[in-house]
Structure 1
């Protein structure tokens, strides 16, 4: 005697399997997205760190150049004052 299985009883395991597969795909997708976010943040942090290092280097170079300009200006001023003092006054 063959027993007839109602459609509903056949469908329940299929539905459970489909739900399980959907949950697994969602979980895998979230894991991939979290990995991508982590990688992007790491790359952004490195880029910002590199840019900050470059800006500090340029700031230091500008400070050195500014000091050099002050030294040149003082030497020029001193030379001009000396030449004015040595010039014959009429």
Structure 2
């Protein structure tokens, strides 16, 4: 899946609806920073979701809906690590991104 943000195409690694927020957010890497970008600021370029994405079906205090690569959706500590910028979690993200 690809989006256009600031006139640049980005590979999407996850989609999230955070609690108390009606907008979807897309997980991308921009200038070596991993961030969630609101749908307000993007255009969807390629809407086909990767076949190997997972869905998070657990009751979570951070989000209502999450889909993306396996670790993002199935390991709560990895989701938190991405948010906090933990080195190990960023390396997992980059490894997954390179595979796509």
The TM-score range, normalised by the shorter chain, is under 0.3
Higher relative contact order (CA 8 A, sep 6+): 2
User: Of Structure 1 and Structure 2, which has the larger fraction of its residues in strand?
Assistant: 2
User: Of Structure 1 and Structure 2, which has the larger fraction of its residues in helix?
Assistant: 1
TM-score between the two structures when normalised by the length of structure 1:
0.17
TM-score between the two structures when normalised by the length of structure 2:
0.15
